[in-house]
Chains A and B, each alone.
Chain A
Amino acid sequence: MQLKYIDEFRDPRLARGVVGKIRAAWGDRPAMRVMEVCGTHTVSIARAGIRSLLSGVVTLISGPGCPVCVTPDGYIDAAIGLGERPGTILATFGDMLRVPGKRSSLEKERAKGIDARVLYSPLDAVEIAAKNPEKEIVFLGVGFETTAPSIAGAILAAADGRIANFTVLSSIRTIPLAMEVLASDPEVRIEGFLCPAHVSAIIGSDAYLPVAEKFGIPCVVAGFEPLDILYGIYLLLLQKKRGAATVENEYARVATQGGNPKALEVIGKVFRETDTAWRGIGVLPGTGLRIAENYAAFDAERKFGIEIPSAEERTACRCGDVLKGKISPPQCPLFGKACTPEEPYGPCMVSSEGTCAAYFKYGVQ
């Protein structure tokens, strides 16, 4: 399998060049506070050691863009509850297995006997449903605008195939309005947003115009490769330096201004906007996607008469403050002590894209 254009975006000479330009352009101004919204950026930054490269110039704050991390513990409890019903198969993305709910995780409950299967595509869950008509298949639909189209596609496929034993426990969130909440938080003090690559490929770079315009915060859509990130940061610094606040798109090779019309169409068909709880942050109006009335038969909450609680217990875990960028992981009293990737306490330590896990694993200072 040949994947083109990997090395081009990791070229050491070009990287040195961009870092040089960044330092020359910024001089000795105080470091700019930039939030990378997406968990994939967080991991890429940690893996490439970009914080150490840009220390003093940019303070990178990790944002809430890790789907596992922002899924409330009540959702895990609800999923386990469904899994305990006789004849139920839970289908999930792998990252969800180890997320702690209030009393347990799917991984621990699986060892006790619930049937939880890791899938790579929601469509596989529809296939399992078709092959096992006597079982109820519940797909744990988490994620952002990136997973929403494929989950919507699976619901449409189930509707087409009249598959009555497939449902989705939906906990999908959307990014731009959440960014507005963070932008208006005086404690976080964001001076620039590095906007997600894949989410932007779906929703388009124009989706961030309100953030830039209302809050006067520069936004740059950037890809996930080290050079993408470095160049994206360079563009943010230049905007800040000249006092601009617009949306620029460094990732034009994939993301467009208007997004992917086909993906937006299926999302619009299957889902409706709703208020939703973000773990550690609370309920953010209009940032969730619930399953539309027309497809109610595929909504696990409606079919099984359950409701995902939005309130959560207060603990010493400071994932919420990490997700909002108010503290960096080592400032949490549990980090590296009561909370490690092996025995995660908070969700930010569970996901491979979680901020705490990235800090722990790659030893970022």
Chain B
Amino acid sequence: MPGDKILLSHGEGGKRTRDLIRKVIVKRFDNPVLAPLFDSGLLGRLDGEIAFTTDGYVVSPAVFPGGDIGRLAVCGTLNDLSVCGARPIAISCSLILEEGFPVETLTTILDSMKAAAAEGNVMVACGDTKVVEKGNADGIFITTAGVGIVSDGWRPAPENVRPGDRVILTGTMGDHQAAVLIARNLLELSARILSDVAPLSSMLLGALSSFGEKVRFMRDPTRGGVGVSLNEMAEASGVRIVLDEGRLPVAESVRGMCEILGFDPLYLANEGKALLIVDGRAAEAIAEALRKTRYGKNAAVIGEVAEGPPGVIMKTVVGGMRAVDYPVGDQLPRIC
């Protein structure tokens, strides 16, 4: 019903809970593992190395330009599996709802979870729903966990990285965080920026199956953005990464916003991008293959792996060199 709100009794285990779970949630995720509503989803026998991941989602606002917390919760977990080279098999969906949350918004969010799961070819195999008193949560929090299988053969990992490799970013930086910041109405900016939230499993697994061991190591640059992920990759691999500032892809609208607010797109979160360290000789071919996929149209080779102490440095557009370090605290706007 329009105007219906989540009540505490939706979480108390009685008829209301049962109705919510069956009619609103399970109806959308319908699949043979979930349908019996056992205490566990039974996945059958899995063959290969098993990858297992989990993530909590608390984004505010829950619905933002380009996506919502539901799409984010599915894509985030799918992408965490995919960058490890794992084919997603099943995910869980645990909802924490605040009393008074509009049922209509919940159904919107569940619909986009369903769509993202279908796109990522993964089933929602188990779930849980809790309701907390008003004021004890911010509308809706979602936790998803995911199980995937790394097929026999090649597994991308930090120890594969060596000098001469190159770094590919699969698209523009910062779209997700920029969209959320604008949706929070921090500044009266009229810019229309859409979050990039997207499931990357088919693109990344496709690259892996075509290029195998030429794909050394992958990460998805979410919180902390490309700047932080690259530092973590350099640290894990024990190598020096040299970025070429002029090759970093940024959407005009995001760059405009960053210029005004004093943000650096290098440190803004992405939810539909991946960083790949690849064999230097195959880098252009891999980037070209990524550009043919739906979520990789702006893929670019942005830097290379060099000898030297671990860390990230950048060759600036005007020809200088500087360090790219971990950021500290919030990116606060400049005051003069």
| Contact (A53, B319) CB under 8 Å given A1-B253, A3-B256, A352-B332 | yes
Near A by CB (< 8 A), chain B positions 319-334 give 319-323, 325, 328-330, 332-334
CB distance from B332 to the nearest CB of A (A): 3
* Residue interface mask A222-259, B partner, CB < 8 A = 1: 00001100100000000000000000000000000000
Most chain B beta-carbon contacts within 10 A, residue among A97, A146, A198, A352: A352
CB distance from B68 to the nearest CB of A (A): 23
B151-159, B182-190, B216-224: which one contacts chain A? B182-190
* Residue interface mask A22-66, B partner, CB < 8 A = 1: 000000000000000001100000111111110000000000000
B252 at the interface (CB under 8 A from A): yes
CB distance from A150 to the nearest CB of B (A): 10
Near A by CB (< 8 A), chain B positions 29-65 give none
CB distance from A114 to the nearest CB of B (A): 18
CB distance from A77 to the nearest CB of B (A): 20
Q: How far is the CA of A278 from the CA of B334 in the complex (A)?
A: 20
B318 at the interface (CB under 8 A from A): yes
A16 at the interface (CB under 8 A from B): yes
Partner of B255, one of A3, A47, A118, A230: A3
Q: How many residues of A contact B (CB 8 A)?
A: 50
A198 to B, closest residue via Cβ: B336
Contacts of B329 in A (CB 8 A): 98, 341-342
Partner of B318, one of A1, A49, A67: A49
Cβ–Cβ contact B252 & A2, under 8 A? yes
| Contact (A95, B334) CB under 8 Å given A1-B189, A2-B252 | yes
Partner of A1, one of B256, B320, B322, B333: B256
Cβ–Cβ contact B253 & A363, under 8 A? no
Q: How far is the CA of A51 from the CA of B318 in the complex (A)?
A: 12
* Residue interface mask B135-173, A partner, CB < 8 A = 1: 000000000000000000000000000000000000000
Most chain A beta-carbon contacts within 10 A, residue among B246, B315, B318: B318
A51 to B, closest residue via Cβ: B320
B257 at the interface (CB under 8 A from A): yes
Contacts of A81 in B (CB 8 A): none
A94 at the interface (CB under 8 A from B): yes
18 contacts between A and B (CB under 8 A): A3-B260, A10-B317, A12-B246, A12-B317, A15-B318, A16-B319, A48-B316, A48-B322, A49-B320, A52-B320, A93-B333, A94-B332, A95-B332, A118-B332, A120-B333, A341-B329, A361-B323, A362-B323
Report which A residues bind B (CB closer than 8 A). Answer: 1-3, 6, 10-12, 15-16, 19, 39-40, 46-53, 67-68, 93-98, 118, 120, 142-144, 146-147, 198-199, 226-227, 230, 340-342, 352-353, 360-364
Report which B residues bind A (CB closer than 8 A). Answer: 186-187, 189-191, 246, 252-253, 255-257, 259-260, 262, 313-323, 325, 328-330, 332-336
